[in-house]
Amino acid sequence: MRIVDLRKPDWKSDERLKYLASRGEILEEEYEKTVKEIIKRVREEGDKALIEFTERFDGIKLSPETLEVPYEELEKAYESIDKEVREALEVAEERIRVFHEKQLENSFFKEERGIILGQKVLPLEKVGVYVPGGKAAYPSTVLMNVVPASVAGVEEIIMVSPKPNPYTLAAAYIAGVNRVFQIGGAQAVAALAYGTETIPKVDKIVGPGNIYVALAKKLVFGAVDIDMIAGPSEVLVIADERANPKWVAADLLSQAEHDELAAAILITPSEKLAKEVVKAVKELLSSLERKEIAERSIEKFGTAFLVKDLFHACEVANYIAPEHLEVITKEPMALLPELKHAGAIFLGEYSTEPLGDYLLGPNHTLPTGRTARFFSPLGVYDFIKRSSVIYVAKEGFERVANYAEVLANAEGLTAHALAVKVRKDES
């Protein structure tokens, strides 16, 4: 983990900073040809291609009859997992549900003289949730992606996951998934986007995955909606001289263990703290089960930036626009107005990011790779659609018709103007 000094007027031109800011870019040229071919074959061949790719990439031999996990397996998994884990999942589900219920939107109508205008809010009918599987279990991802859809009122929630294990299936049962298919990768995204003989076509695909999944989501966008194109995980910690270096180091490593492409960044005005954190990271690394992954992540992207003061720290954080942003300072709330771009903001030394990952309530599906400048966390609003509602009576028509006709003629759209004029002439 290197220390970089940004206490200079042209700090935005720093090479390390630019390197970190660009790390979230998807390597499209390297992977796009393969992903396009997978999508094409699944679209044309349906289950046959899906089964072939599942065996090739995930080592699972399936048939059209075994693509779907029987629903009773979800209940069986729920009953079989450790009582402690089941209780933790239920607590997390409840907290996530309560938080997301605050995001519900209602239809509305407003009435003028002879005009009624409104907005009708409806849930999406069918949503596909991608949950990574294989070597690791991600029941928290199930809860974070399924619960908002459930709260929104989505009629059918379909989960895809390669080699789903009991924890993942139990979480699906708790959260209210309707159907589960044991498929993954770009082929699962293609199946959800276009449908096969067995997999239903959905209206939207949400959930994280590797670069193949992310690129597949990008390529099928338009045929279906997607939540966002998620890249490798990242955490940025703003800390002052009073922060506990061991706590900061542990928080940085909590993201570094995700992926060798994950980024762990410290921003501080204290050189002493920066050096202590770098030392603590080295010491804590040896105790990690995923030590090799975390080491590679820290070596590639681990950085402690030195800044002039905490307000400068906020400027740098806004430039990076991180997925997770922790503020471990004497008065963290005082910096909140200065922070513009972050997926989730954790204030105070006890607000460690993993609490948000699992059960506090706000969603952990967050924008990465600087996309927090324009994307938001996954929420209920991602699972609804809105229709405008317009009613115009004669009185209302007479109040606005002339203006509409004038504007139509100004744009040279004479048929638009005619549609208004014939009603004026015959009223």
Exactly one of 100, 258, 324, 341 is catalytic; name it: 324
Structural domain tally of the chain? 3
254 plus 141 within the same structural domain: no
Q: Is residue 313 part of a domain?
A: yes
Residue 77 within a domain: yes
Q: What order do you get walking across the sheet with 384-392 strand by strand? A: 108-112, 115-123, 384-392
| Domain around 184 | 28-107+124-226
CA angle 384, 389, 393 (to 5 degrees): 175
pLDDT tens figures, 226-239? 999 888 899 999 99
Residue 66: inside a domain: yes
Please check whether residue 146 lies inside any domain of the structure.
yes
Q: In CATH, what number is assigned to the domain containing residue 343? A: 3.40.50.1980
Per-residue pLDDT of the chain (427 residues; tens, 9 = 90+): 999 999 999 999 999 999 998 775 655 677 889 999 999 999 999 999 999 999 999 999 999 999 999 999 999 999 999 999 999 999 999 999 999 999 999 999 999 999 999 999 999 999 999 999 866 779 999 999 999 999 999 999 999 999 999 999 999 999 999 999 999 999 999 999 999 999 999 999 999 988 899 999 999 999 999 999 888 899 999 999 999 999 999 999 999 998 888 999 999 999 999 999 999 999 999 999 999 999 999 999 999 999 999 999 999 999 999 999 999 999 999 999 999 999 999 999 999 999 999 999 999 999 999 999 999 999 999 999 999 999 999 999 999 999 999 999 999 999 999 999 999 998 7
253 and 155 share a domain?
Answer: no
pLDDT at 137 (0 to 100): 77
94 and 154 together in one domain: yes
**20 and 37 inside one domain:** no
384 inside domain:
no
Question: Of 209, 226, 243, which residue is a domain's last?
Answer: 226
Are residues 279 and 191 part of one domain?
no
Q: Are residues 61 and 134 in the same domain?
A: yes
**117 in a domain, yes or no?**
no
Q: Would residue 323 show up in a list of annotated catalytic residues for this protein? A: yes
DSSP letters for 278-343: HHHHHHHHTT-TTHHHHHHHHHHH-EEEE-SSHHHHHHHHHHH--SEEEEESSSHHHHGGG----S
Statement to judge: residues 63 and 160 lie in one domain: yes
In a domain, 144, yes or no: yes
29-64 pLDDT, tens digit per residue, is 778 899 999 999 999 999 999 999 999 999 999 999
In a domain, 377, yes or no: no
Q: Which amino acid is at 81?
A: I
Q: Which of 260, 276, 295, 323 is catalytic?
A: 323
Q: What is the rounded CA–CA span in Å between residue 213 and residue 73?
A: 26
Q: Are residues 146 and 209 in the same domain?
A: yes
Give the global pTM: 0.93
The domain boundary residue, chosen from 344, 361, 378: 361
On whether both 164 and 189 belong to a single domain, the answer is: yes
Contact between 388 and 366 (Cβ < 8 Å): no
| 219 and 238 together in one domain | no
Q: End of a domain among 226, 254, 287? A: 226
Whether residue 247 is found in the same domain as residue 143:
no
Report the C-alpha gap between 179 and 71 in whole angstroms.
Answer: 7
Q: Say whether both 178 and 142 belong to one domain.
A: yes
Active site residue 68: no
